[in-house]
């Protein structure tokens, strides 16, 4: 009997495995292929996962640095296989993610049908709830049917615009806290600093979500955020093994870590809920999102465990949906503004004109058209959510295709957002102007612009995130000038959201004019009074302090040192970006100097000795060859390219013309200051020339050229601070000499200039 039961179970399991791993996928593939939907050949168990992995690894090697952030094809590094497959199989094709069959759709008409379909038979993919259960549970992001509708009904009203307007005070507060910490950092580093902005922006958006939705401050939610991020990283490691049956039950290191984190996060959220219940002994009219979730949890739930799961899953969903997405959008937006100074200034001018020194409020941010255009463009090029996915929970028809039950439909946002057929030839360029007449004016099919999704599952938090972005970015632009740090490496990566793979480094400095004024402080005071958080007192002090005028940089430098040096190959060599060439030059110069200066060798002797040796070798080689091979050695004819010589001669002529121009200008007797500078500089060089031979001087200059810019780039902030002090001192000394000596000299034009 026992044997019979065991045999039935084993056969049942084998049949189930055979059905889900072989029969079902094949049936779905066949049904699609019959309708002309083809795609890459899937492998047993893995589908097309290996090809996808390989393609991603190849794309990862293509990274670029901050100087070349002008093409923004982030799909090419995050989802490169789709471009290849689309070229091969067309806009609608199928592929397999493990044993999940997916239809890729970027055909605008079909995209419209899918995204706006209101039937509950089209839902979120069921594999997501299974594979990312630890991260998302059965919350609003992954659930389907009536359960999803119930959750949406509870959460949506809490994020309507009128509710979001009530959150503006705390968004301002969180933004000012962030600005204050950056301001302190920049001041401490002498007015200009490279800041890794992504962790700070995450902190900002986490702070807002935590306060806006859960009434707790960031310090309480901090641990949850940290753990959720680790959990998210662990989940994204599994993205390419998604769909392999049973893999989520294997007690691998990654899975064990995931399970432990899930447990800890659940405990932390339930602790906040307990505190909330205790503190709300008397029910109040003002309900926040957590309150609504707690009330919603009691409807149709019969066990404590299902109530707890409902609360925890929805809290996690809101944290996840609103925290990373807003933070990465702000990160990309600031990167784009830093790389495009003209747009940066345009938006800054607009903010100054609208806000007039006040902290932006709901009415002001509504008027910020240029900023809206920049945010739209940033979300077009770097949409945090790269794929909108659905599953046919019953057989459905879209376009000409009948989609069998269980097939997933993927709409690739990065592809749709950058398709030149939809957006024009500059589709990979940053051009916010395209949004001057809104989304309808920007492209032929406005429904394909979907950073927040479209249709019944459109993002619930888009009002809140746009308010956050506008307040934060407008405040940042009034306070700091942004440029791309030379150390920034541009490599968008997909970790559930599209984020900068190596973090985001922005060079920040205080802007030319300080715009956040006295009235801002009054507003800020009001905002802080509104919010009784004690942690903001330090922020308040920081903003009350008078803000420095623009810091001076040596050589009037506002650009990165690499750009100041011309930004080309020479700059690369001087800053040791081409280590081999720089090292070779320094070593070569040292050898030459040592040879001639220390060992007493002479240049003419060296040239003669080298010629003797090479002529002797060639002479014997030619004779030997005639003797052995019975043929002459053909020596190569050396012809120097005319173009290079011409360029060299022209450069020399230009330099000579420039020097003679300076000589004439100084000698003309019109500018005493220039004359004194020239005499003083020549006098210094004449003294230095007495100490060293000409060769040593050339050698020292080479060494300085190969070291000073390199160290200046590294320690520029400190050097600028001392340089500024030295320049101030020199100016002071000069004005004293001017007042006590020069003005008393009987030279007519000095007096004239003083009167002027």
User: Residue 401, interface with ligand HEM (CB under 6 A)?
Assistant: no
CB 110 within 8 A of CB 127: no
3-state secondary structure of 692: coil
User: Residue 507, interface with ligand HEM (CB under 6 A)?
Assistant: no
Phi, psi (deg, nearest 5) at residue 485? -70, 140
Taking CB under 6 A as the criterion, which residues in 151-170 touch ligand HEM? Answer: 152, 155, 159
Nearer to ligand HEM, 155 or 297 (CB): 155
Nearer to ligand HEM, 325 or 370 (CB): 325
Nearer to ligand HEM, 163 or 559 (CB): 163
Task: Map 479-528 to HEC letters.
Answer: HCEEEECCCCEECEEEECEEEECCCCEEEEECCCCCCCCHHHHHHHHHHH
CB of 215 to ligand HEM, least distance (A): 14
Phi, psi (deg, nearest 5) at residue 95? -150, 175
User: Residue 460, interface with ligand HEM (CB under 6 A)?
Assistant: yes
The answer for residues whose C-beta is within 8 angstroms of residue 723's C-beta and 6 or more apart is: 552, 553, 554
Among 81, 82, 452, 593, binds ligand HEM (CB under 6 A): 452
Nearer to ligand HEM, 51 or 468 (CB): 468
CB 158 within 8 A of CB 288: yes
Nearer to ligand HEM, 25 or 137 (CB): 137
User: Residue 459, interface with ligand HEM (CB under 6 A)?
Assistant: yes
| Contact window for ligand HEM (CB under 6 A) among 227-235, 396-404, 457-465, 722-730 | 457-465
Instruction: Give me the residue whose beta carbon is nearest to ligand HEM.
Output: 461
CB 232 within 8 A of CB 208: no
User: Residue 406, interface with ligand HEM (CB under 6 A)?
Assistant: no
Nearer to ligand HEM, 128 or 510 (CB): 128
Among 318, 393, 416, 508, binds ligand HEM (CB under 6 A): 318
User: Residue 320, interface with ligand HEM (CB under 6 A)?
Assistant: no
Task: Map 394-444 to HEC letters.
Answer: CCEEECCEEECCCCEEEEEHHHHHHCHHHHCCCCCCCCHHHHCCHHHHHCC
Provide DSSP, 617-659.
HHHHHHHHHHHHTSS---PPPP---HHHHHHHHHHHHHHHHHH
Nearer to ligand HEM, 410 or 712 (CB): 410
Among 133, 453, 501, 511, binds ligand HEM (CB under 6 A): 453
CB atoms within 10 A of CB 358: 15
Kindly give the pairing relationship between strand 100-105 and strand 92-97: antiparallel
User: Residue 102, interface with ligand HEM (CB under 6 A)?
Assistant: no
Nearer to ligand HEM, 317 or 509 (CB): 317
User: Residue 384, interface with ligand HEM (CB under 6 A)?
Assistant: yes
Q: How far apart are CA 147 and CA 156, in angstroms?
A: 14
CB of 465 to ligand HEM, least distance (A): 4
CB 79 within 8 A of CB 240: no
CB 320 within 8 A of CB 311: no
Among 465, 478, 509, 539, binds ligand HEM (CB under 6 A): 465
CB of 678 to ligand HEM, least distance (A): 58
User: Residue 506, interface with ligand HEM (CB under 6 A)?
Assistant: no
CB of 496 to ligand HEM, least distance (A): 12
x-or-dash string of contact with ligand HEM, 111-150, rule CB under 6 A: -----------------------------xx---------
The answer for residues whose C-beta is within 8 angstroms of residue 498's C-beta and 6 or more apart is: 74, 78, 328, 382, 383, 384, 386, 414, 492
Among 457, 479, 553, 562, binds ligand HEM (CB under 6 A): 457
CB of 458 to ligand HEM, least distance (A): 6
Phi, psi (deg, nearest 5) at residue 123? -130, -170
Provide DSSP, 126-142.
HHHHHHTHHHHTTSTTT
The residue behind tokens 């050698």 is: 699
| Contact window for ligand HEM (CB under 6 A) among 234-242, 315-323, 431-439, 629-637 | 315-323
CB of 144 to ligand HEM, least distance (A): 10
Q: How far apart are CA 614 and CA 226, in angstroms?
A: 68
Is 459 labelled a binding residue? yes
Residues in the interface with ligand HEM (CB under 6 A) total: 26
x-or-dash string of contact with ligand HEM, 169-198, rule CB under 6 A: ------------------------------
CB of 460 to ligand HEM, least distance (A): 4
User: Residue 335, interface with ligand HEM (CB under 6 A)?
Assistant: no
Nearer to ligand HEM, 116 or 605 (CB): 116
User: Residue 325, interface with ligand HEM (CB under 6 A)?
Assistant: yes
Q: How far is CA 4 from the centre of its chain?
A: 61
The answer for residues whose C-beta is within 8 angstroms of residue 525's C-beta and 6 or more apart is: 540
Among 699, 679, 697, smallest CA distance to 688 is for: 697
Nearer to ligand HEM, 413 or 571 (CB): 413
User: Residue 409, interface with ligand HEM (CB under 6 A)?
Assistant: no
Among 461, 486, 709, 716, binds ligand HEM (CB under 6 A): 461
Among 268, 297, 337, 385, binds ligand HEM (CB under 6 A): 385
Taking CB under 6 A as the criterion, which residues in 208-227 touch ligand HEM? Answer: 209
Task: Map 724-749 to HEC letters.
Answer: HHHHHHHHHHHHHHHHHCHHHCCCHH
Please give the structure tokens belonging to residue 365.
């941010």
The answer for residues whose C-beta is within 8 angstroms of residue 315's C-beta and 6 or more apart is: 214, 269, 273, 290, 293
Kindly give the pairing relationship between strand 387-392 and strand 408-412: antiparallel
What is the DSSP code (8-state) at residue 21? I
Nearer to ligand HEM, 205 or 536 (CB): 205
Please give the structure tokens belonging to residue 518.
């006295």
Phi, psi (deg, nearest 5) at residue 117? -65, 125
User: Residue 326, interface with ligand HEM (CB under 6 A)?
Assistant: yes
User: Residue 206, interface with ligand HEM (CB under 6 A)?
Assistant: no
User: Residue 245, interface with ligand HEM (CB under 6 A)?
Assistant: no
CB of 158 to ligand HEM, least distance (A): 9
Nearer to ligand HEM, 329 or 418 (CB): 329
Q: How far apart are CA 500 and CA 490, in angstroms?
A: 7
CB of 468 to ligand HEM, least distance (A): 7
CB of 167 to ligand HEM, least distance (A): 10
CB of 436 to ligand HEM, least distance (A): 21
| Contact window for ligand HEM (CB under 6 A) among 92-100, 176-184, 240-248, 455-463 | 455-463
Using CA atoms of 540, 542, 543, 545 in order, give the dihedral in degrees to the nearest 10. 120
CB of 303 to ligand HEM, least distance (A): 25
User: Residue 575, interface with ligand HEM (CB under 6 A)?
Assistant: no
Among 321, 467, 527, 574, binds ligand HEM (CB under 6 A): 321
Partner residues linked to 494 by β-bridges? 498
Q: Where are the alpha helices (DSSP H) in 668-744?
A: 672-691, 694-740
Going from the C-alpha of 193 to that of each of 60, 146, 491, 566, the distances in angstroms are 28, 52, 22, 21
CB of 150 to ligand HEM, least distance (A): 11
Residues annotated within the binding site are: 459
Q: Enumerate the known binding-site residues for heme.
A: 459
In the complex, the residues that contact ligand HEM under the rule CB under 6 A are 140-141, 152, 155, 159, 209, 317-318, 321-322, 325-326, 329, 384-385, 388, 451-453, 457-461, 464-465
């Amino acid at each position: 009997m026992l044997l019979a039961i065991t045999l039935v179970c084993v056969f049942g399991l084998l049949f189930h495995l055979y059905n889900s791993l072989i029969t079902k996928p094949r049936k779905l593939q066949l049904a699609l292929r019959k309708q002309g939907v083809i795609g890459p050949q899937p492998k047993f168990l893995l589908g097309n996962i290996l090809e996808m992995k390989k393609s991603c690894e190849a794309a990862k090697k293509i990274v670029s640095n901050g100087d070349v952030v002008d093409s923004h094809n982030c799909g090419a590094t995050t989802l490169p296989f789709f471009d290849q497959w689309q070229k091969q199989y067309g806009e609608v094709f199928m592929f397999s993610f493990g044993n999940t069959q997916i239809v890729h759709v970027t055909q605008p008409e079909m995209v419209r049908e899918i995204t706006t379909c209101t039937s509950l038979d089209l839902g979120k993919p069921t594999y997501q709830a299974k594979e990312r259960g630890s991260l998302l549970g059965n919350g609003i992001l992954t659930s389907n049917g009536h359960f999803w509708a119930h959750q949406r009904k509870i959460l949506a009203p809490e994020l309507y615009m009128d509710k979001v307007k009530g959150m503006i005070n705390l968004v301002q507060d969180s933004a000012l806290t962030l600005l204050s910490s950056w301001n302190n950092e920049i001041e401490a580093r002498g007015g200009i600093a490279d800041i890794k902005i992504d962790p700070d922006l995450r902190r900002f958006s986490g702070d807002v979500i935590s306060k806006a939705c859960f009434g707790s401050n960031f310090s309480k939610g901090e641990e949850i955020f940290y753990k959720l991020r680790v959990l998210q990283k662990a989940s994204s490691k599994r993205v390419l093994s998604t769909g392999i049956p049973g893999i989520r039950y294997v007690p691998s290191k990654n899975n064990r870590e995931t399970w432990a984190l899930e447990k800890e996060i659940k405990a932390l959220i339930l602790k906040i809920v307990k505190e909330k219940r205790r503190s709300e002994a008397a029910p109040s009219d003002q309900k926040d999102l957590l309150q609504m979730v707690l009330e919603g949890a009691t409807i149709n739930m019969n066990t404590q465990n299902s109530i707890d799961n409902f609360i925890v899953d929805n809290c996690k969903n809101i944290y996840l949906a609103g925290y990373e997405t807003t933070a990465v959008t702000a990160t990309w937006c600031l990167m784009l503004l830093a790389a495009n100074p003209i747009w940066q200034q345009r938006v800054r001018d607009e903010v100054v004109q609208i806000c007039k020194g006040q902290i932006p409020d709901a009415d002001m941010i509504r008027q910020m058209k240029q900023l809206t255009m920049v945010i739209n463009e940033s979300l077009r090029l770097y949409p945090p959510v790269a794929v909108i996915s659905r599953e046919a929970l019953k057989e459905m028809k879209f376009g000409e295709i009948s989609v069998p039950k269980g097939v997933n439909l993927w709409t690739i946002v990065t592809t749709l957002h950058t398709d030149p057929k939809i957006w024009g030839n500059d589709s990979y360029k940053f051009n916010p102007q395209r949004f001057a007449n809104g989304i309808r004016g920007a492209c032929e099919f406005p429904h394909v612009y979907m950073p927040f999704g479209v249709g019944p599952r459109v993002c619930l938090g888009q009002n809140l995130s746009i308010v956050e972005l506008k307040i934060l970015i407008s405040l940042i632009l009034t306070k700091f000038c942004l440029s791309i740090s030379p150390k920034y490496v541009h490599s968008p990566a997909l970790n559930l959201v599209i984020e900068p793979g190596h973090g985001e480094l922005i060079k920040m400095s205080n802007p030319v004019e300080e715009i956040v004024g006295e009235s801002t402080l009054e507003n800020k005071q009001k905002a802080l009074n509104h919010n009784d958080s004690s942690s903001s007192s330090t922020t308040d002090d920081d903003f009350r302090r008078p803000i420095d005028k623009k810091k001076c940089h040596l050589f009037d430098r506002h650009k990165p040192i690499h750009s100041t040096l011309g930004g080309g190959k020479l700059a690369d060599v001087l800053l040791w970006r081409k280590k081999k060439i720089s090292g070779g030059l320094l070593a070569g110069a040292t050898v030459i100097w040592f040879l001639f200066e220390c060992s007493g060798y002479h240049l003419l002797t060296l040239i003669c000795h080298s010629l003797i040796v090479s002529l002797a070798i060639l002479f014997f080689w030619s004779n030997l060859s005639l003797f052995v091979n019975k043929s002459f050695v053909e020596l190569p004819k050396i012809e120097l390219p005319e173009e290079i010589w011409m360029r060299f001669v022209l450069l020399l002529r230009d330099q000579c013309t420039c020097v003679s121009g300076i000589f004439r200008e100084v000698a003309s007797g019109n500018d005493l200051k220039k004359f004194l500078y020239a005499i003083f500089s020549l006098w210094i060089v004449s003294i230095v020339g007495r100490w060293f031979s000409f060769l040593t001087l050339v050698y020292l200059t080479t060494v300085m050229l190969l070291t000073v810019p390199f160290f200046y780039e590294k320690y520029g902030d400190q050097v600028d601070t001392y340089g500024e002090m030295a320049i101030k001192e020199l100016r002071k000394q000069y004005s004293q000499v001017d007042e006590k000596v020069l003005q008393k000299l009987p030279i007519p034009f000095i007096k004239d200039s003083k009167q002027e």
